[in-house]
């Protein structure tokens, strides 16, 4: 079983739709949860960084963490064609290994104009 | 802020030759840098963790004699792929850490012919 599971998509939505992206994980030690956006042939760009359970909002983006279910989500409101990219979740256990990130395989999102 | 650059962005080399990839943090000092590789439609796989002034820590299955990492300063880490083979063709991405977050470079596409 992979440490982090993520549906690869592709996910295709019309412009303006609400997008829900999700990851599940198996390691209960994970405490830090990140979402990255990666455009084709580019490096990942940090979108959201959360610690432990709860919600975090930044503009059109909301990150949710449910540690009891080992499930994290990223919501994108009013999606735009420029949001079309691959979204990667990442997580780490913190402590001594806080820098060791485990990545999902990424979900490819296509927002149609 | 938090910009990481990589050079070159793409390189083609012949089998048996060595290739050096540079990773620089442009506007911050990074005590730790990371090297990942990413195959098409797959997630980022951590290869090694590099701390300034000390030897790199390699992940299981990564040959340290093949992938030489030098972290010469707080803003520069290099990855040298020695005696490259076609199976080393991949997208290599570095990241630099400050305060627990990782900022990624744009990646280097290596093609070994």
User: pLDDT confidence of A12, banded at 50, 70, 90?
Assistant: very high
Q: Rounded to whole angstroms, how far apart are CA atoms A47 and A44? A: 9
Is pLDDT larger for residue B12 or for residue B71? B12
- Tell me the percentage of chain A whose pLDDT exceeds 90: 73
Contacts of B42 in chain A (CB under 8 A): 105
Give the CA radius of gyration of chain A. 14
Residue of A nearest to B40 (CA): A41
Nearest Cβ partner for B43 among A98, A100, A103: A103
Residue B104 touches chain A, beta carbons under 8 Å: yes
Query: Tokens for B80?
Result: 């040298």
Token duo for residue A72:
């994290």
Q: Are A74 and A66 in contact (CB under 8 A)?
A: no
Place of tokens 């913190």: A94
Least confident of A13-22, A70-79, B20-29, B42-51: B42-51
pLDDT at A1: 66
Q: Is A104 on the interface with B (CB under 8 A)?
A: yes
pLDDT of residue A9: 84
Choose among A75, A109, A95: nearest CA to A27.
A95
Q: How far apart are CA A6 and CA A100, in angstroms?
A: 18
Chain A neighbors of B107, CB-CB under 8 A: 41-43
User: What distances in angstroms separate CA A62 from CA A93, B10, B95, one per listed residue?
Assistant: 22, 34, 24
Task: Name every chain B residue with its beta carbon within 8 A of the beta carbon of A99.
Answer: 32, 34, 49, 97, 100, 102
Name every chain B residue with its beta carbon within 8 A of the beta carbon of A45. 104
Distance CA A73, CA B50 (A): 31
Query: What pLDDT is recorded for position B53?
Result: 79
- Nearest CA to A33 out of A95, A112, A88, A82 is that of A88
Strand partners, A64: A55, A73
Q: Nearest-CA neighbor of A33 among A87, A81, A101?
A: A101
Torsion sign (Cα): A84, B21, B25, B31? positive
Confidence of residue B31 (pLDDT cuts 50, 70, 90): confident
């Amino acid at each position: 079983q992979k440490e982090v599971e993520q549906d690869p998509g592709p996910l295709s939505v019309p412009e303006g739709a609400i997008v829900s992206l999700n990851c599940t994980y198996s390691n209960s030690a994970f405490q830090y949860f990140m979402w990255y956006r990666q455009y084709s042939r580019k490096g990942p760009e940090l979108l959201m960084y959360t610690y432990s359970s709860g919600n975090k909002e930044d503009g059109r983006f909301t990150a949710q963490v449910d540690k009891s279910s080992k499930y994290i989500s990223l919501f994108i409101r009013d999606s735009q064609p420029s949001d079309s990219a691959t979204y990667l979740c990442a997580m780490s256990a913190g402590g001594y290994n806080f820098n060791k990130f485990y990545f999902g395989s990424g979900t490819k999102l296509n927002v149609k104009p | 802020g938090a910009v990481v650059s990589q050079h070159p962005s793409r390189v083609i080399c012949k089998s048996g030759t060595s290739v050096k990839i540079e990773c620089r943090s442009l506007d911050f000092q990074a005590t730790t840098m990371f090297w990942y590789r990413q195959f098409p439609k797959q997630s980022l796989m951590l290869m090694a963790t590099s701390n300034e002034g000390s030897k790199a820590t390699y992940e299981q299955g990564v040959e340290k004699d093949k992938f030489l990492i030098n972290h010469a300063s707080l803003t520069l880490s290099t990855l040298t792929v020695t005696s490259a083979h076609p199976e080393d063709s991949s997208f290599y991405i570095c990241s630099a850490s400050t305060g627990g977050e990782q900022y990624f470079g744009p990646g280097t596409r290596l093609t070994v012919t």
